[in-house]
Structure 1
Amino acid sequence: MKTRIIDSSGSRITELGFGSAGAGNLFRPVPYEDITKAINKAHSLGIQYFDTAPHYGAGLAERRLGVALHDLPRAYIFLSTKVGRVLHADKNSVKKDADCYVQASPFDREYDYTYDGIMRSFEDSLQRLGVSQIDMLLMHDIGELTHKEKNRVYFQQAVEGGFKAMTELREQGVVRNIGLGVNEWKICDQAMEHAQFDCFMVANCFTLLNNDITQTFTDKCRKNQVSLIAAAPFNSGILAKGSKGLGHYFYGEAPQDIVEKVIAIESVCEEFDVSLQAAAIQYALRYDCVKSILIGMTNDVRVAQNVAWYEEDIPEAFWQALAPVIYSK
């Protein structure tokens, strides 16, 4: 599988990454055996980038991923996790349903973007993952989309302490790259004024359906040697299932204007005999500042299918024909 270089650090990352939210039992329980098979399949097909977070199953995804990766050559694994939530044990639970995760670990999540909160979260993640260092550490879900009116308080925590903690961890060599992992790119733009970041992971907002990030921010990232990871290229489902399957859009029901845009995209795909899913995966990779596409995967069949879509040949004429559709207002 092709790799790209994170500009500021020189770290090498595969163009396709394995997202582990499903390993934390997102929406439904997933057997550990399925997750292990999926991780091994991904590695066998060349995927070396694996992402996780304490939020996913309240630590469950980190524990599962750490065990599954333990016997794979560490030198060929690029591992990222996140900070911003500290987990506290719930002594009254054995397994817990919360925040869209079912039968998850018995911990409560607390948002904490302070210096001490970041340091504790990082140390806890090292233990759950069974590693001594992380290739990329991302501040998770900072921004108004998650916190609404409380975001000003949390962002101030990050500016006054959280960003400093992440910078120190990078200086100590226990983290190679630092950045944000968010669902809104504009908070990344704001954060760039307060610290030197290596990479931003942007979910659901660098896709065929949602791409205003390309108007100015991709140029700014390129000029400042900040790399991007485009997560959730299917916009939580609709670009995987298509207009007839009516998958979710941003984790909810797709509005009519989005459905109509998907239909228009499908028309161009049919004209050029290109899979909608392949176009969705490969779209952001057309931008040099994008280093990897991160997709959630929970079984080996889905892994193989995603790799096939990533490898599908798409002619340049297709992208030229598609441009007026995806960039129209």
Structure 2
Amino acid sequence: MDRSGTPITELGFGAAGIGNLFRSVTNVEAQAAVNGAWEQGLRYFDTAPHYGAGLSERRLGLALHEKPRDELFLSTKVGRVLHPLEKNAPLEEAGFVGAAPFKRHYDYSYDGIMRAFEDSLQRLGVTRIDMLLMHDLDVFTQGDKLPELFRIAMNSGFRAMSELRDQGLVKAIGLGVNEWQVCDAALDQADFDCFMVANCFTLLENEITQHFTGTCRQREVSLIAAAPFNSGILAKGSAGAGHYFYDTAPGAVIERVIELEKVCSEYQVPLPAAAIQFPLLYPCVKSVVIGMTSEARIRQNMDWYEYPISMDFWQALVDREYIRPFPKAC
């Protein structure tokens, strides 16, 4: 349950995949993936205008159209406004194969947030959003532009999100980013309910547990851990050549994965199961969001989520300094 009091499942459906992240899927496959997730009991679905330049939101909205709205938890993101491409202009795929013909424009201003929110409602075919997140307001995406964009977001964009929350059009507001540090900074300036952190609450990247998880617990701010596999490497393993931070995994990361695999083998724990369950050991983490594009993958993720893991395994990771000691509340 998030700060708004709305129930949320501990495993969430990340809809970047049905926006054709890295590979193309059909409308039929996208519909089947969403239906499969629903049948497996998942009720949290996350998307964004960035995913396929609107393709993910359209597909997700269609797939959820006949599902009971009060039984699902839906999040999307703001910070990008989509504009139709000019005639003969090349597609802006940005990692999404066969993206829709729209140009992405960053806009964290009051007007930009309101425009993006209204556009998302139409693509999704809904009248409200459960969780609205400012997307990619981080160094990973914005580089040197971040300080100015952060100022606009906190001074202008937050006002729009706060109004939407006050009007009941949104239940919870926050950021959806690749770095927890910007969430820490944002929490000093605005009253956010939640943060979605991607790729930085994992077995490979867990500095967030040094103090920020404690801050969130104290301030009753919820965390959503997205991309627990660090874009793929923790699912496919050292021999699988999975992505790391949306790119090829460097040698040092592969070596780290090999060491993690040794501990997993010792305790007979699948590495992907450990990757999914690790963030959920922290009370402030309400859900782990994973990209899913097939019924088989959904079932596999559920099996990993439900796999029994003893505290001895986690303590072994602590002892070998792969993760930090857990707070007493865990």
In 2, the alpha carbon distance for the partners of 1:113 and 1:318 equals: 43
Aligned residue among 301, 322, 326 for 1:326: 322
CA contact (8 A) 2:200 2:208 kept: yes
Pair 1:186 & 2:196 matched: no
Pair 1:172 & 2:167 matched: yes
Residues 59 and 94 of structure 1, relative CA distance in 2, 3 Å threshold: farther
Q: Which residue of 2 aligns with 1:280?
A: 275
Pair 1:22 & 2:17 matched: yes
Residues 73 and 93 of structure 1, relative CA distance in 2, 3 Å threshold: farther
CA contact (8 A) 1:96 1:102 kept: no
What amino acid is aligned across from residue 124 of structure 1 in structure 2? Answer: D
Moved over 3 A (4+): none
Q: Which residue of 1 aligns with 2:305?
A: 310
Q: The residue matched to 1:53 in structure 2 has which SS? A: coil
CA contact (8 A) 1:84 1:111 kept: yes
1:97, distance to aligned residue in structure 2 (A): 4.4
Q: Which residue of 2 aligns with 1:43?
A: 38
Q: Which residue of 1 aligns with 2:51?
A: 56
Pair 1:70 & 2:65 matched: yes
What residue ranges of structure 1 are gaps of 5+ in the alignment? Answer: none
In 1, the alpha carbon distance for the partners of 2:246 and 2:55 equals: 21
Report matched runs for 1:179-218 at 5 Å. 179-218=174-213
Pair 1:106 & 2:101 matched: yes
Pair 1:135 & 2:106 matched: no
In 1, the alpha carbon distance for the partners of 2:97 and 2:258 equals: 34
What amino acid is aligned across from residue 104 of structure 1 in structure 2? Answer: A
Q: The residue matched to 2:247 in structure 1 has which SS? A: coil
1:181, distance to aligned residue in structure 2 (A): 0.2
1:143, distance to aligned residue in structure 2 (A): 1.6
The alignment-based identity, stated in percent, is 60
In 1, the alpha carbon distance for the partners of 2:97 and 2:73 equals: 28
What amino acid is aligned across from residue 158 of structure 2 in structure 1? Answer: F
CA contact (8 A) 2:92 2:103 kept: no
What amino acid is aligned across from residue 255 of structure 1 in structure 2? Answer: P
Aligned residues: 323
In 2, the alpha carbon distance for the partners of 1:302 and 1:314 equals: 20
Q: Which residue of 2 aligns with 1:161?
A: 156
Q: Which residue of 2 aligns with 1:31?
A: 26
Q: Which residue of 2 aligns with 1:86?
A: 81
1:327, distance to aligned residue in structure 2 (A): 3.0
What amino acid is aligned across from residue 115 of structure 1 in structure 2? Answer: Y
Q: The residue matched to 2:305 in structure 1 has which SS? A: helix
Deviates more, 1:178-187 or 1:28-37: 28-37
CA contact (8 A) 1:93 1:106 kept: no
Q: TM-score scaled to structure 2, two decimals?
A: 0.95
What residue ranges of structure 2 are gaps of 5+ in the alignment? Answer: 325-330
In 1, the alpha carbon distance for the partners of 2:222 and 2:96 equals: 30
In 1, the alpha carbon distance for the partners of 2:48 and 2:165 equals: 18
In 2, the alpha carbon distance for the partners of 1:325 and 1:30 equals: 39
Show CA shifts across 1:61-111 (max 9, x none): 000000000011111110000000001111415993421122221110000
CA contact (8 A) 2:92 2:102 kept: no
Show CA shifts across 1:135-156 (max 9, x none): 0000000022211111111111
Report matched runs for 1:143-158 at 5 Å. 143-158=138-153
Aligned residue among 290, 293, 300 for 1:298: 293
Q: The residue matched to 2:232 in structure 1 has which SS? A: helix
1:255, distance to aligned residue in structure 2 (A): 2.3
Q: The residue matched to 1:10 in structure 2 has which SS? A: coil
Residues 299 and 178 of structure 1, relative CA distance in 2, 3 Å threshold: same
Root mean square deviation of aligned Cα: 1.3
1:50, distance to aligned residue in structure 2 (A): 0.1
Pair 1:240 & 2:235 matched: yes
CA contact (8 A) 2:76 2:132 kept: yes
Q: The residue matched to 1:167 in structure 2 has which SS? A: helix
Q: The residue matched to 1:206 in structure 2 has which SS? A: coil
Q: TM-score scaled to structure 1, two decimals?
A: 0.96
CA contact (8 A) 1:94 1:105 kept: no
CA contact (8 A) 1:24 1:60 kept: yes
In 1, the alpha carbon distance for the partners of 2:197 and 2:208 equals: 10
Residues 61 and 174 of structure 1, relative CA distance in 2, 3 Å threshold: same
Q: Which residue of 1 aligns with 2:247?
A: 252
